Structure 1
């Protein structure tokens, strides 16, 4: 395909009487890392959720590979999120009853990949994220920084085209945050995955190729100087 991989155009979204997005627009190219910054309540997480097909805008267009995400059925959007998108959230959201290996393999199992193959690929990603030794442990037995690396492995195991990361270092200290960002962005560049990164931290946004600021539900690109 030519042109942007993912596009949002003139998005509006309100929750009751409160507007969250008021004409937000954004485009993301294949392999590009874009950070979305803004104060609390500015609409940055709502924009990410609209891009990922989790929330539908009240008006405006979201397109992935020229396909209208808003017009898709719930089943089509769910399939898109399982096969083409990966997700990393602030608190990891690992399944507490599963081991780390099972957590990473879970997206593949949902796509009906055989257990042996799913676990082989999960082990490969645990190794790349430097947490191989955690394979048999459960989320309650590991640290927050380790859990986020497991969550990044889970996001990447399906070879997604886009990774959505919503405050992925927000619950970590600066050392663990830097490590998670280095591993996340390095793995994304190796696999040519685009990353849409919501953060309020300048040091995290510095890992991106481009910064977009959301304020009062509108977007503005910031020029990146060399």
Structure 2
């Protein structure tokens, strides 16, 4: 390769040599991966392989025992709790297997919640949330609570909540695991399609090949270990 070419793009998010144990049980044993801006990466592996723990470490939800996680040039370990919380509210978005919507809030209020927690006024946050519900095709459910909607509809509301702050990275942990195949396909099209439109990167944990097919690249975790392939320009 010629030395005159443009340098490879630096990763937006990178975990290096991550190790994490819960009691005497190792969950990660030197795992590492990186994600570039706008990239969709599927983290695959069997149950118990450590893939969800890897996601939680990358997102700053769980602190690794050793190793480092760097986001946009900043080491998460060097941040205070308040700074990491602000990062998770604003620059990171989350979609979990069962949505984890707040049952006492309406779908509109759930989607607006990250903005409200960030200090946005209710009227502004709910106007933005209404637009995202419409984008997800569930505008008519704005006043419904999670217990009054189907699993697929609730998961679409969860996707809207994850994207409402226009995050740089969306972490999706088995986002279709509780859905039938039709609803799962709808959720994945909305999640990945909208993330691509907004330029968000997606870290997608799954054990399903049909879900991983929506990604640009796959990283396989086995027994808490993975080797990040070299990034190429």
> What band does the TM-score fall into relative to the shorter chain?
over 0.9
The yes-or-no answer on 1:10 pairing with 2:17 is yes
- Secondary structure in structure 2 of the residue aligned to 1:9: strand
Report the alpha carbon displacement of residue 222 of structure 1 after superposing the two structures with TM.
Answer: 7.9
What's the C-alpha RMSD, in Å, of the aligned pairs?
1.2
Please report how far the alpha carbon of residue 114 of structure 1 lies from its aligned counterpart in structure 2 after TM superposition. 1.0
In structure 1, C-alpha distance between the alignment counterparts of 2:182 and 2:20, rounded to whole Å: 36
Give a deviation string over 1:126-154, Cα, whole Å, max 9, x none. 01111101001000000000000000000
- SS at 2:19 equivalent: strand
Q: Where does residue 78 of structure 1 map in the other structure? A: 85
Counterpart position of 2:50: 43
> Is 1:53 the counterpart of 2:60 in the alignment?
yes
Q: What stretches of structure 2 of length at least 5 have no aligned partner? A: 1-8
**Could you tell me the TM-score, scaled by structure 1's length?**
0.96
Q: Aligned partners of 2:81 and 2:48: how far apart in 1? A: 27
1:54 and 1:123 mapped to 2: Cα distance?
28
- Given that 1:213 and 1:221 are in contact with CA atoms closer than 8 Å, whether structure 2 keeps it comes out as no
CA distance in 2, matches of 1:160, 1:61: 21
Partner of residue 151, structure 1: 158
Q: Secondary structure at the match of 1:7?
A: strand
In structure 1, runs of 5+ residues without a counterpart are: none
Tell me the distance in 2 between the aligned counterparts of 1:222 and 1:206.
Answer: 18
Q: 67-76 vs 31-40, which deviates more?
A: 67-76
1:125-164 equivalences in 2 (<5 Å): 125-164=132-171
The alpha carbon displacement at 1:220 in A equals 4.0
**How far off is 1:122 after superposition?**
0.2
TM-score (norm 2): 0.93
Partner of 1:204: 211
In the alignment, which residue of structure 1 is the partner of 2:38? 31
Rounded Cα–Cα distance in structure 2 between residues aligned with 1:88 and 1:96: 16
Asked if the contact 1:211–1:222 (Cα under 8 Å) also holds between the matched residues in 2, the reply is no
Q: Secondary structure at the match of 2:102?
A: coil
Give distance in 1, aligned partners of 2:65 and 2:47.
21
1:171, CA displacement in angstroms? Answer: 0.2
